[in-house]
Amino acid sequence: MSSVWHPVGPEGTRTYWRRRVVLLAVLTAMIMAVVWLLTRGGDSPTPGPSAFDPAVTAPAPAPSAPSAEPDTATSAAAVSAAATPSTPAADPDRECAASDLTVAVSTDAVSYGPDAKPRFALRVENVSGSPCTVVVGSEVTHFEVRTAAGETVWDSRHCARSTSSDRKVLKPGTAAPSSLTWHGAGSAPECPSGQPRPGAGEYTVVATLGDISSAPKTFAIR
């Protein structure tokens, strides 16, 4: 034991002690490394969940499905707006346009004898959606009788002694009627006398208000 504590050799005591300290440090380090490895190998740490583990992956939120029921209030309003036509403002003083009116003519019989005096009726109707004012009367209306070939036999303006006019307010769907009796003889401009009566055959009468003319109405003279 004396050689342990008192090393014997050709070198100095301090050298031997330095070597022993280094050897002891190396042994200590080796022992600690072995202990650490044993301790490390004995542990069985539980691995944390992987970001790619399907068992722990949070499901993506499902997209919200659109409502199957339409907005009934909005749909009804749109249908109502589309179905309701716009109408002109109700202004009774508005002058009737040609597109607001229809003109029709009729006869009091389908055929007449040679000495008959046919009676023609004029009907001016407001076919627009609002009231309007129209001027009627002999000043702005006239009747014309024509042959089947289109030749004028009689025109109410040829021998008119006086003319008149009247302003009427027509509500939508209402009409302003008027009538005139034809004496049966022909006529010519400036109303010369002695015009003959037309012979037997088929004729038409047309009624005109301003620039609006009726469809021809056919009648016969026997």
Q: Give 173's contacts (C-beta < 8 A, 6+ positions apart).
A: 125, 126, 127
**Would you say residue 149 has pLDDT above 70?**
yes
Geometric angle at alpha carbon 195, from 165 and 216, rounded to 5°:
55
The CATH number for 98-221, chosen from 2.60.40.2360, 3.30.460.80, 3.40.50.2300, 3.30.2270.10, is: 2.60.40.2360
**What is d(CA 184, CA 193) in angstroms, rounded to the nearest whole number?**
14
> pLDDT tens, 2-60?
455 555 556 667 776 777 788 888 888 888 888 778 877 555 555 554 444 444 444 55
Structural domain spans, the chain: 2-41, 98-221
pTM, 2 dp: 0.58
Tokens representing 58 are 């949070």
SS3 195: coil
CB 204 within 8 A of CB 143: no
- What is the pLDDT of the chain when averaged over all its residues? 81
**What is d(CA 102, CA 210) in angstroms, rounded to the nearest whole number?**
12
